[in-house]
Chain A
Amino acid sequence: MRWMLKKDLLILARSRLLVGVLIIYPIAVALLIGLAISRAPSKPKVAVLNLSPPGASVELGGRRLEVAHYYSALLQQIQVVPVSTRAQAVAAVKSGRALAAIVIPANIATQLSSVTNQGQIEVIYNGEALEQSFAHSTIEAALAQANLELADQIRAVAATVIGELVKGGSLGVPGAPQSLPGLQRIPGILHGVLRHEPPGAHRAALAQVAEFAQFAAQNLGISGRVLKTVSRPIAVRSTLLHGRRTPLDAYAVVVAVSISLMFVCVLLAAGGIALEREEHTLARLVRGLLSRELLLAEKLLLAAGCSLVLAFAMLAGIGAFVGLEWSRVAQWLLALAFAALAFAALGVAIGALAREVRAASLLAFLLSLPLAFLALVPAGAVAGGLYDAIGAISFVFPYKAALQALDAAVNRSAPSLAISLAHLLALTALFAALARLGLRRVE
């Protein structure tokens, strides 16, 4: 087997394009992923036309809310492309200078002050589906954030006004009394008056007013909490049932590394065994020079070894950008090694079925890519029965198990590393056995 390994490494070294790809690929992918997840996503370019006059404000309960505050909250979410007219805004979107345009009408403050109507702004999108989707979701999120801030301000104003009505004080509104007694104090004042009031209809009416004032003060007292509940009806409290929550960027690292490991390993193993058929050397080898089992083991070890080095280099490279636990490097290597063996076993099984390297590579690619995508389908994204079918398919191919093993090794996620490694080992045995069956035929 030593001489076959030496021969394959020599052939690999002479395939300059393949070696180039094997060296450049992990570096490029590690850099791209590292940069992508270590930098904030770029804000979409949006043309903004603010037609509201400078200093426009909304009058609420005697308080003024500046439209500029809402505007600046919106601008924080986007890259502004300045425009002066609606026509310029439309032209900017059409030309692609901006993904979308937002037009804030001149009467936005009046619309908001009316209370009975919602304020309306205009959003203009382009027609390209992906960009439109990105711009749409970003602008929707920006508008939702700005709306929330406005709602908070309105709630704060309303709560202040109600508080002053309940506790007394000055509303600061032109025409309003300077010193309000407050609903809480009215029953006491009225009871003082009632003590000097003779029994009769007048006294009964005053007693009724005092009772109402007490009731109103009690109930309006909780209005602040009610307003808060209405503006944000549901607060989220997260509970993790098992394992450890994987940060999205660390999970992205695991996905990227496992996909790269899969492709390199499956393609190398499939190509390696198919090359023996393509060069007609398989028949020469198995006539007593090398057993089929040893030949498969050699291809499996070669592919697993090369892809392990490559995947580890990728993981280490991405680790320069993302905080990974280097103390768990032994677990990373264990997960990568077992995953590489399972992928290599799948590769040799594919290679044993194919007659030539190109067919083996195509088959490996066609089989691996959809299986990797299937393994990434989250629960709830598809109907229950379909998800179960996807789960069953993913279970008998190594990608999902490799992803789980690497996630457990890198992020301590569930299921445990040991379970995933056992799964990968079983799949290695299964595909190695299939490869042995495929190798019964030599030509």
Chain B
Amino acid sequence: MLDVGLDHFLFLSAILFIIGMMGVLIRRNLIVIFMCVELMTNAVNLSLVAFAWNLNSIDGQAFALFIIAVAAAEAVVGLAIIIALSRRAHTINVDEVRTLRN
């Protein structure tokens, strides 16, 4: 049996976090960007639970539950904004929504 320790979890969560981050920076579809942010959040959850397991403390797990609940609220607000945008602009590509001058 492979001995899975804290390092393995942290490494996996770091990789997931970086994949999510690159996705946010590179992808142009709003839904995909949103999913990438969720991936980052879940990477954080993974490392929180791994730390809590390693430290033998319940705090990290409790925090993970709160993060999941907040992420659900964020999903609702995000989808509402994306729907409002797609009705106005008829696209969900970030590059095509450029009415505000920078």
A and B from one complex: no
Q: Which residues of B contact A (CB under 8 A)?
A: none
